[in-house]
Structure 1
Amino acid sequence: MATATTQTHKREAFGSRNVFILSAIGSAVGLGNIWRFPYVAYEGGGGAFLIPYLCALLTAGIPLLLFDYAIGHRFRGSAPLAFRRMHRAAEPLGWWQVLICVVIAVYYAVIVAWAAMYTWFSAQLTWGPGNENDFFFVDFLQSADVAKVGVSTEFVPQVGIPLIGAWLIVIAIMSFGVKRGIGRANMILTPLLMVMFAILVVQSLFLPGAVDGLNAFFTPNWEALADPAVWASAYGHIFFSLSVAFGIMVTYSSYLKRKTDLTGSGLVVAFANSSFEILAGIGVFAALGFMAQAQGTDVAGVASSGIGLAFVAFPTIVSQATGGSIIGVLFFGALVFAGITSLISVLEVVVAALQDKLGWGRVRTTLTVAVPLSIVSMALFSTTTALSVLDTADAFVNSFGIMAVALVAVIVVAWMLHKLPVLVEHLNRRSSFKVGFVWKMLVGVLVPLVIGYLFITELIAKISEPYSGYPTWFVAIFGWGMVIALVVAALLLSAVPWSKRSHARDDPEYDDFLVEEKYQPDPETSSIPVVGTAPKGEDA
């Protein structure tokens, strides 16, 4: 056991592996699983889409998930600290991921607020039959055209008030820390989310026309498999679905105990996430089948994704179905729980990074992060132009934030720092399911090729015409400007000195890692001192 010459800080940890798994599932299972996957699968060939989806999961999703686990657990820190401990020059990658989470947190909270309000609306059918579209865009959001009014500051109280509530709940949970706050919240919310959605699916299956919806969802269109865009769609969805490549799983895995089975945990999380997605597809398309029958059209005429599915199509189903209020409460309640667990994980990336960098306590760091972000969230997303800002920020932070940092990270770690053998050794030391050459080839070769293709495709699409027809100045600020600002700010944050009070400087658990693995940090690549050293006479 290493001995400390200065005051030591014990890093927070999850209470058990099961708590970590539920927390990781809670992070992975988010709004996209419910409102994006069913439509992506439907458009990608129905039942046939499961083939590229499974291939993407096995060849990219799980390998990247284990990549994040290995970095966070091996180097025992938040994203910036873990990458810096790997190599001093890699620290900006961590801050890049942190800043992506800052952007996501700011707009993700407002969707949670929308879902909370619609849970209440569902109980009373507030929108009125046939008025679902106008109710959401006109009555609820009071949406204004940015081309005419610019970025509005007009406050929308029915959005702003629940948004404050969402932030207060998340701040309270995170202030209690990893074990008593995040862990306990996920132990309650994640199983509750699963139970609620399972009940929703059962109810949807008994709606008239449900079979038509399921046939549309599962009937395979084998010709779609010859379309490269379908395969690209499967890989693109998997990257975002598992919460990989933007610091969440790096941070969460750093809170695991030293002898945790990492690969086994990763497989449980990945397959649980995919199982929920298929369950969501069954529930959503059973309900859409009912909607199509009620309107005298086919499923293709009512199928949609994203905000349109959640806040227009589903309220229509609620209005038309017997017992629709119960379906609405279950659906939007599930969105709330999925949103909260995901928002917690996104914010934890930011909080953990500042804790490591500055050495502050949990409550102080949480308030320092969450209060300013909540103010920005209120300023941008409780106004009449919130939807346009959200749409643009979400599209660009996913395409040129998450995808870009994932591409750069795998290239840097695999080809510039040559750290994949170190990660393989660490994964195999603590796991029942071993990885090796195949995993290294997937992470080092296949993943960058796939992400590179997706990135270039998105870049060409975004450059060829203004995104969603928004004004050039608007896309330049909230799209391209935001993307560039993330990279610049990441470099600037990396230049900020680590505080002498930083937990990174006297972490006894990381010191135990060094002793156990006979590893000595290279003084040329890391300026963060640790307490102990490897035993004399033994090299890495």
Structure 2
Amino acid sequence: MTEPATSDQHERGSFASRRVFILAAIGSAVGLGNIWRFPYVAYENGGGAFVIPYLVALLTAGLPFLLMDYGIGHRYRGSAPLSFRRMHRGGEVLGWWQVGICAVIAVYYAVIIAWAVRYTFFSFDHSWGEDPNGFFFGDFLQVAEQPSVGLDFVPGVLWPLLLVWIAVLVIMVAGVQRGIGAVAVVFIPVLVVAFAALVVRALFLPGAAEGLDALFTPDWGALGDTAVWAAAFGQIFFSLSVGFGIMITYASYVGRRTDMTGSGLVVGFSNSAFELLAGIGVFAALGFLAQANGVAVNEVASDGLGLAFVAFPTIISEAPAGALIGVLFFGCLVLAGLTSLVSVIEVVISAVRDKLALTRVAASLVVGIPTATVSVVFFATTTGVPILDTADHFINRFGILLVAVCSMVAVSWWFRDLHTIRAHLNEFGSFPLGTWWSALVAVLAPIVLTYVLVQELVDALDEPYGGYPDWLLNWFGWGAAIGVVLVAAVISALPWSRRTSLEIPEEVHR
């Protein structure tokens, strides 16, 4: 049963029901990383044995932090900056830090969706020919020989990117329920059915069993490697959409009496189930590719752009009914990407709305048009790929993980609000949280993630990422990660609109 919306909910917008909220949250969590990152991470870190540290990470860090995000948004009823500000005067900067991370992600995430749109149609006639790698980086993206920044636009990327941004702006202007909620209700079931069909088709390819053996054969010795455990905790945070304001924002759009702990369990386990499904589908297809070319699976296994736009086109060209596999695979990338992009950009729009007291339409345009412009200028050009690769690597590792650690420590030890959040979640939650939950959020998760961060920092200082020149890493890598913190501090110092109440909404006290 859906409870009546309060005046605050009506003004900000709200999801029509708990079901819509759960679908929207799953849509945010299930993104490109589930499809092209998890299978390879699992393969590289012990195969079947990786499931153990992965589940431990999910239960001891991923879900506890997800529930903390839910508790913050649901209790304080605002965007990430406003929710943190209502919690503690010094907390606003954490919210704007998360908003900045989302803004950076949005400008490059959209272009990958645009590539997937084109490749959905390329799948019909195998436009990449005999050399998918050369086609992707050469004919399609026309990547410049040396990393640089330029305005040499690639029409084949520019037009689909503009279409992606137009679609996103229409969704955002439509609002929380009619835009974000409606997209989730339609796209998530379609995504699950389409990907399940892809997995079934992949399982019947010759060599599929060899691919699954490569993925799931357990290397029990890997369990003694701290790097494997670090990889598991890192993967959980990358895939659950925690630590950068999305779940805080979405939780602020649901009714006061909503079961948030039960919802969190559904979202967390659904995300992990999709990752395992992705692993099965991807490695079944890679097993076929390995057998068809007479090589071992480890010679064709990859993640990221190499998997999606090089390995899979090769599979599509050689597999029976390859066009169907291509349409399903790239169609799933488009659907998963769009639901995630919508959630990322909503974090920014919601924050701007709260800070400046703007209407939904005004905030969507104020945020959407500049973001789309930056996206087109930097990533629809021949020089966009190295910039995208660098920004994605650094903002994920030294943005999301770092702000997650800082948030947990601040909420637990500086604001001392963890007990209040736990009590709020337990009031209507179907899964009770005890002191064990507080210990996981306040102690265990920050320690493990700090270890992951230190390892990442050591690796980054040891060897320049991707072999890129220092100026590129300094501007678009370290510069992006540090810049969002500085911008967050500046925006936090600016006054709020007089029409924005910094007090906790009255319905929370009822």
Q: Shift in Å at residue 48 of structure 1?
A: 0.7
- Residues 505, 122 of structure 1: CA spacing in aligned structure 2 closer, same or farther, 3 A cutoff? same
Partners of 1:388 and 1:145 in 2: how far apart?
A: 11
Which residue does 1:119 correspond to in 2?
120
Q: Please name the residue that 1:106 is paired with.
A: 107
What aligned pairs does 1:219-298 form with structure 2 within 5 A after superposition?
A: 219-298=217-296
Aligned to 2:145: 145
Query: What is residue 412 of structure 1 aligned with on the other side?
Result: 410
Aligned to 2:306: 308
Q: Shift in Å at residue 10 of structure 1?
A: 3.0
CA distance in 2, matches of 1:65, 1:152: 40
Q: 1:7, 1:224 → 2: CA distance?
A: 51
Q: Is the 8 A contact 1:9 1:506 kept in 2?
A: no
Q: 1:264 and 1:290 mapped to 2: Cα distance?
A: 39
Letter in 1 for 2:450: G
Q: CA deviation at 1:501?
A: 2.8
In structure 2, C-alpha distance between the alignment counterparts of 1:371 and 1:282, rounded to whole Å: 39
Counterparts of 1:447 and 1:471 in 2: how far apart (Å)?
34
* AA matched with 1:35: W
Name the residue aligned to 1:18.
Answer: 19
2:446 to 448, 457, 471: 448
Question: Which shows bigger deviation, 8-17 or 42-51?
Answer: 8-17
- Once residues 250 and 494 of structure 1 are traced to their aligned partners in structure 2, the CA distance between those partners, rounded to angstroms, is 18
Is the 8 Å Cα contact of residues 7 and 506 (structure 1) preserved in structure 2? no
Structure 2 residue 41 is the aligned partner of structure 1 residue 40 = yes
- Which secondary structure state, in structure 2, belongs to the residue aligned with residue 208 of structure 1? coil
- Structure 1 CA distance, aligned partners of 2:502 and 2:423? 25
CA distance, structure 1, for counterparts of residue 9 and residue 64 of structure 2: 34
In structure 2, the gaps of 5 or more residues are: 1-5
| Offset, 1:351 | 0.4
Secondary structure in 1 aligned to 2:241?
A: coil
User: 2:163 maps to which residue?
Assistant: 165
2: distance between equivalents of 1:9 and 1:316?
50
**Pick aligned residue for 2:190 from 189, 192, 204:** 192
TM-score, normalised via structure 1 length = 0.92
Equivalence for 2:497: 499
Q: What percentage of aligned pairs have identical amino acids? A: 59
Deviation at 1:505, TM superposition (A): 5.6
In the TM superposition, residue 8 of structure 1 has moved relative to its aligned partner by: 10
Residue equivalent to 2:421: 423
Look at both structures and tell me which one has the larger radius of gyration over its CA atoms.
1
Residue aligned with 1:146, SS: coil
Structure 1 residues 126-156: Cα deviation after superposition (integer angstroms, max 9, x where no partner): 111x311100011111111335xx2122111
Judge which range, 6-15 or 265-274, deviates more.
6-15
Show the counterpart of 1:136. Answer: 136
Offset, 1:480: 1.1
CA–CA separation in structure 2 for the residues paired with 1:210 and 1:127: 24
Match of 1:208 in 2: 206
Give the match's secondary structure for 1:64.
Answer: helix
The change in CA–CA distance for 1:94 and 1:505 in structure 2 (over 3 A counts) is: closer
**Cα distance in 2, alignment partners of residues 168 and 195 from structure 1:** 26
Mapping of residues 472-483 of structure 1, within 5 Å: 472-483=470-481
Per the alignment, residue 386 of structure 2 pairs with 388
Report the equivalent of 1:28: 29
| Contact 2:86 2:502 (C-alpha < 8 Å) held by counterparts | no
Contact 2:54 2:236 (C-alpha < 8 Å) held by counterparts:
yes
Does residue 512 of the first structure (1) align with residue 507 of the second (2)? yes
In structure 2, relative to structure 1, the CA distance for the partners of 1:269 and 1:475 (3 Å cut) is same
Distance in 2, matches of 1:104 and 1:180, equals: 24
Two-structure CA RMSD over aligned residues (Å): 1.4
Q: Which moved more, 1:456-465 or 1:97-106?
A: 456-465
Offset at residue 385 of structure 1 (A): 1.3
Q: Name the counterpart of 1:526.
A: none
The answer as to 2:356 corresponding to 1:358 is yes
Counterpart residue number, 2:3: none
Contact conserved, 1:146 with 1:388, CA < 8 A, in 2? Answer: no
* Partner AA of 2:507 in structure 1: D
Structure 1 spans left out of the alignment, 5+ residues: 517-540
Give the drift of 1:325. Answer: 0.5
What residue number does 1:537 align with? Answer: none
User: What is the CA distance between 1:9 and its match in structure 2?
Assistant: 6.5
Contact 1:68 1:249 in 2 (8 A): yes
What residue is the counterpart of 1:62 in the other structure?
63
Equivalent residue letter for 1:309: L
TM-score relative to the length of structure 2: 0.97
Structure 1 runs (4+) greater than 4 angstroms displaced? 6-9
> Which of 179, 188, 197 pairs up with 2:177?
179
State the 1:459 CA deviation: 1.1
Q: Distance in 2 between matches of 1:60 and 1:244?
A: 10
